[in-house]
Structure 1
Amino acid sequence: MASRKLLVDIHTHVYLPRYASLLRTRTSVPFIRSSTTRDGKSEERLLILDHEPSGGRPVGPQYWDREEKLKFMDRHGIDVSVVSTANPWLDFLSASQAQILASELNDDLEQYCSTSPDVPDVSIKRLYGFGLLPLVPDITTASLLHAVDQISNLPHLRGLIMGTRGIGKGLDDEALDPVWAAIEKAGLVVFIHPHYGVDGKSWGDKDNGHVLPLALGFPFETTIATTRLILSGVLDRFPLLRLLLAHSGGALPQLSSRLASCIDHDPVVASRLKHDARYYLGKLYLDAVAYGPEELGFVSDVIARSKKFETGTSVTGSLTRSLGSQQMLFGTDHPFFPPLYSTETWKSVVENLEAINEVQGWGQSDKEGVRGGNAITLFNLTK
Structure 2
Amino acid sequence: MSTPVVDFHGHLAVPEADALVAGTGGFAAELAAEQRAHSPESLAANRAQLRRLAGRLTDVDVRLADLDAMGVDLQVVGPMPMHHYWAGPGLAVRLARTVNEAVAAHCAAAPGRLHGLGTVPLQHPDLAVALLDQAVTELGLYGISVSTSVEGHELADPAHDDVWLKAEELGAVVFVHPWGCSLGERLASNYLGNTVGQPTETTVALSHLIFTGVLDRFPRLKLVAAHGGGYLPTYIGRSDHAWRVRPDARGCAEPPSSYLRRMWFDALVYTPRALRHLVEEVGADRVVLGTDHPFDMGVTDPVARLDAAGLDPAARDAIAGGNALDLLLKGHVR
- Unaligned runs of at least 5 residues, structure 2: none
- Of 212, 226, 247, the residue aligned with 1:232 is 212
How does 1:1-383 map onto structure 2 within 5 Å? Answer: 3-22=1-20, 28=28, 51=39, 53-55=42-44, 56-58=46-48, 59=51, 60-117=54-111, 125-136=112-123, 139=124, 141-154=125-138, 156-166=140-150, 168-203=152-187, 207-208=189-190, 210=191, 212-270=192-250, 272-303=251-282, 324-337=283-296, 348-350=299-301, 352-360=302-310, 362-380=311-329
| Deviation of the 1:261 alpha carbon | 0.7
What CA distance in whole angstroms lies between the structure 2 residues aligned with 1:355 and 1:229?
30
Whose helix proportion is higher, 1 or 2? 2
Higher RCO, 1 vs 2 (CA within 8 Å, ≥6 residues apart): 2
Counterpart position of 1:39: none
CA distance in 1, matches of 2:5, 2:30: 32
> Does the 8 Å contact 1:184/1:241 carry over to 2?
yes
The whole-number CA distance in structure 2 between the counterparts of 1:54 and 1:169 is 26
How many equivalent pairs are there? 322
Using the TM superposition, give the Cα deviation of residue 108 of structure 1 relative to its aligned residue in structure 2, in angstroms: 2.1
Please list the CA deviations of residues 26-85 of structure 1 after superposition, one character each: whole Å capped at 9, or x if unmatched.
Answer: 784767xxxxxxxxxxxxxx9896546252332222222222212211222221111000
3-state SS, counterpart of residue 154 of structure 2: coil
Shift of 1:24: 6.0
Any unmatched runs of 5+ in structure 1?
32-45, 118-124, 304-323, 339-346
**What is the alpha-carbon distance in structure 1 between the residues aligned to residue 115 and residue 90 of structure 2?**
27
Q: Work out which of the two has the higher radius of gyration on C-alpha atoms and give 1 or 2.
A: 1
**Whole-Å separation in 2 of the counterparts to 1:269 and 1:17:** 44
User: Cα gap change, 1:333/1:85 in structure 2, threshold over 3 Å: closer, same or farther?
Assistant: same
C-alpha contact 2:38 2:193 (8 A) present in aligned 1: no
CA distance in 1, matches of 2:152, 2:93: 15
Distance 2:101 2:152 in 1: 25
TM-score (ref. length: structure 2): 0.88
Q: Percent identity?
A: 29
Q: TM (normalized to structure 1)?
A: 0.77
Q: 1:48 to 1:152 in 2, by over 3 A?
A: farther
Residue type at the aligned position of 2:58: W
When the two chains are superposed, the root-mean-square deviation of aligned CA atoms in Å is 2.6
Q: Determine helix, strand or coil for the equivalent of 2:11.
A: strand
| Cα distance in 2 for residues equivalent to 1:91 and 1:13 | 18
SS of the residue 1:132 aligns to: coil
Measure how far apart 1:103 and its partner are. Answer: 1.7
User: After the TM superposition, which segments of 4 or more aligned residues of structure 1 sit over 3 Å from their partners?
Assistant: 20-31, 46-52, 200-204
Letter in 2 for 1:81: Q
Q: Distance in 2 between matches of 1:299 and 1:293?
A: 10
SS in 1 for 2:317: helix
